[in-house]
Structures are given as structure tokens and as C-alpha cells.
Chain A
């Protein structure tokens, strides 16, 4: 079945450091890929998405590129801020749009 694997956390960085959170997936067909984020005390919300190979999703300084050859969708940000501290979930939907799979989540803490 479809699955998503993320790097284990927690990840702790200093402000202005470069961030990479690795995400790889297993799926048949052509899934759509997502990053959702959960800030402290808030609900899950969509951060960015990509629907086909080589698409790049971006939002709030975060980027991720859909790499079909490596089945990856790594999240990156050039300079993190304390306000980026949150739990980040990589996710996919199958190409029929009838199933949605989240990864286990990666907790990021950014220190001032």
C-alpha cells in the first residue's frame, strides 16, 4: 500500500540555520504530495503541495520539489525563524483521490 517515511525528530536548529526535512514515499501511479504543519496550540494546516513530477511547491519561504525518480519530497528553508517551530507532516493522496496518507511527523524546534 501507499506509505510515507520522514526523518525522525526532533530537529533542533538555531535561528537563521538551513532546514531540510527528508520525506520519501511509496505509491502506485501518480500521487499528489503535501506538507502539512501543526504549530503549537493550533490545528493542522496545509503548508505546500505538488501534483506532478518536477513540480515545486512553495510557501512562507519553504520549498519542496516532487522527485519521482527518487520518490522524494524533501522540505527546505534557507533561514529558519523561531516562529517556524512546529510539527511537520509529509503526506500523499493517491491518484484516484480516495486515500490520504500522512507520515509520522517531524518536530522542529528553532532556538533564538
Chain B
């Protein structure tokens, strides 16, 4: 079975631009979560979506938004990019909304802001 897939794998943007990152969950998984991982730190929770509804939100500014589609895939959008947004963005899927079920992580999208 295919795991969590994320695209693109790498992305280079400049300050002020907008970016969209994509995630396809494992088949049958209805929950998708997004994380930001700065080099040398642990992942930071951005959003969780379950059944197309936002279920949880971390401490990120409104420049960050996301949505989930009927097929449970998800997009993360970041507007007005800042240098500090440079990071690895991870997507994780799970079958249920509670985090007690194991989250299955993708390989991430590495975003670099120039």
C-alpha cells in the first residue's frame, strides 16, 4: 500500500510569495495533520483536518491556512512568505481524529525562502 505522499519534495520561493503544499493520505485515512520542522528542532503542529473539517490548530499566524478535499487529500497554503518559514513541512495521516491512533508521516516538502 502507498504511504503518505507529499509534493513537491523541494521548493524555493522568495519573500512575499505564496506557496501551496500537497498531501495524499494513506488509503482509508480520514485525518490529515500538518507540521513544520525547523532544522534541529522537533515538528510543530500547524493544523489537523478530519472529514474535511478543521479539528485542531497550532500557534501559527493567519498566513497559514489549509483545507481537505472529499478524497481526504489536503493542501497547506502559506501567504506572504517570510525567511523564517524556511523549514521541512510534514504531513501525517491517521484513520481517526484522536492522536492515539499512530500518525503515518510523509517524507515532507523542504521549503526554502530566499
Q: Quick check: B100 and A32 within 8 Å, CB to CB?
A: yes
Count of inter-chain pairs, beta carbons less than 8 A? 60
Contact A105 B42 (CB under 8 A): yes
A92–chain B nearest beta-carbon distance, Å: 9
Which of A74-109 touch B at CB < 8 Å?
A: 89, 91, 93, 97-105
Mind listing 10 A-B residue pairs with CB under 8 Å? Answer: A32-B100, A43-B3, A93-B99, A97-B56, A97-B97, A97-B98, A98-B48, A98-B56, A100-B45, A100-B48
Cβ contact of B100, chosen from A44, A93, A98, A104, cutoff 8 A: A93
Best-buried of A43, A45, A49 by chain B (most CB within 10 Å): A43
| Binary contact track B98-114/A, C-beta < 8 Å → 1, others 0 | 11101111111000000
Contact (Cβ within 8 A) B33 A105: no
Dominant secondary structure at the A interface: strand
Q: Does A46 contact B (CB under 8 A)?
A: yes
Knowing that A44-B105, A45-B104 touch, tell me 4 more A-B residue pairs with CB under 8 angstroms. Answer: A32-B99, A44-B90, A99-B58, A100-B99
Name the residue of chain A whose CB is nearest to the CB of B41.
Answer: A104
State the CA gap A93–B48 with chains docked (Å).
12
Verify A100–B98 contact, CB threshold 8 A. Answer: no
Contact call A51/B48, Cβ cutoff below 8 A: no
Q: Could you mark each residue 1-34 of chain B with 1 if its beta carbon is under 8 Å from any beta carbon of chain A, else 0?
A: 0011000000000000000000000000000010
CB-based closest 4 A-B pairs: A102-B42, A93-B99, A98-B56, A97-B98
